């Protein structure tokens, strides 16, 4: 069951809104309430999983262990989007500090 977000989670909601999502609390049958992310985030599934997000098939939400973890995952995704947006699709890739093969 997905319930509305608790008070004190404004920053997490703000980050989720930047991705077109929302947050709430998820409760499995007889389980404790856990933060959840609802929305179209399939493009970020691997990042959410890296931060410990678990996809709940029945409710179609990503469930996290706690609010700080969900906030960190959302902040990471937003930062990545802003980096791509700032560099633009035509930007040249950054040069690597590792010398190319055969160069020293």
Q: Is residue 97 part of a domain?
A: no
Q: Is residue 93 part of a domain?
A: no
Low-confidence winner among 39-43, 57-61, 67-71 (lowest mean pLDDT): 39-43
Q: What angle do CA 59, 62, 67 make, to 5 degrees?
A: 125
Structural domain for 71, as ranges: 2-87
Residue 51 is classified by DSSP as T
> What's the pTM value of the predicted model, to 2 decimals?
0.74
Share of the chain above pLDDT 90, in %: 48
The whole-chain average pLDDT of the chain stands at: 81
Q: Is residue 104 part of a domain?
A: no
Say if residue 38's pLDDT is above 50.
yes
Say if residue 56's pLDDT is above 70.
yes
Q: How far apart, in whole angstroms, are the C-alpha atoms of residue 80 and residue 74?
A: 10
């Amino acid at each position: 069951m997905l319930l509305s977000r608790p008070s004190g989670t404004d920053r997490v909601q703000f980050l989720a809104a930047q991705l077109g999502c929302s947050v709430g609390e998820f409760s499995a049958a007889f389980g404790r309430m856990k933060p959840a992310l609802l929305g179209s985030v399939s493009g970020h599934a691997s990042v959410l999983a890296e931060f410990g997000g678990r996809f709940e098939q029945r409710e179609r939400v990503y469930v996290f262990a706690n609010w700080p973890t969900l906030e960190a995952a959302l902040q990471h995704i937003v930062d990545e989007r802003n980096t791509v947006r700032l560099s633009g699709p035509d930007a040249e890739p950054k040069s690597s500090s590792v010398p190319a093969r055969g160069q020293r």
